[in-house]
Amino acid sequence: MGKIIFLCSVLVFCSWAHCDLIVGGLTFQDNAFADEVINSGGSLTTFAFDVPNAGTLPEVLTDTDTATFVIGGTNAFVELGFVDNLVINGNGNDLAIFEQGGLADSFLLKINNITLQVDTSFTGEFASDGREINVGLVDLDDYGILSGGSISSIFLDLEQITDAPPAISLVGALNSDSVVPEPSTCVLSLIGLFGLALRKKLPLCRANMEG
């Protein structure tokens, strides 16, 4: 029984305990970043530490490293999803989209069927590849999301609209809410653990009865 309670405590601790991560001077919960590439298309070139085509699109966009990124081009788009967290419309800016390079480039961002241009600016910090870390800050108010409302995906149009093509390295929620397991999932896990414990004890009981 003691073991079961310990296991449950560890599971709950792992789900709810999050460390902070600082990127470009901004603080994020460690699970606040985009988790998956839902869809993509057009001309997209990945970069990792100055090597082109060095990683897959999901790798460079969900690794939380600003030295790995994707450069957009003709008809380029990427739809990103948040799995273990949601982006919340809280106070001020809610979303940070990081972009690499000496020129702070712009791109189009579609949320809730509203498309707006996001302009990035230099954060004052540099990535481990030596490039400038630029950031575009997004307030979900501008996309018609109610205060306290949330989103779980964003659509980035990465066609070049400024002097250089956008080079997206990382997307994180400044206002983030962790997606925790449903209470029913926890109850099912508990039943499973009890079942395992009983199965382990049964042979002993049988041996005692037969012996």
Contact between 59 and Ca ion (CB under 5 A)?
no
Q: How far apart are CA 170 and CA 131, in angstroms?
A: 14
SS3 166: coil
The residue number with the shortest CB distance to Ca ion is 68
**Gap between the terminal Cα atoms of the chain:** 26
- Count the site residues for Ca ion by CB under 5 A: 13
The mark string for 152-191 relative to Ca ion (x by CB under 5 A, - otherwise) is -----------------xx---------------------
Please choose, out of 59-67, 117-125, 129-137, 200-208, the segment that lies near Ca ion by the rule CB under 5 A.
59-67
Q: How far is CA 62 from the centre of its chain?
A: 6
- Contact (Cβ atoms closer than 8 angstroms) between residue 137 and residue 93: yes
Nearest Cα residue to 157 out of 172, 168, 144: 168
Contact between 35 and Ca ion (CB under 5 A)?
yes
Comparison of 48 and 161: residue with beta carbon closer to Ca ion: 48
Q: Which residues contact Ca ion by CB under 5 A?
A: 31, 35, 60, 63, 65, 68, 84-85, 89, 94, 139, 169-170
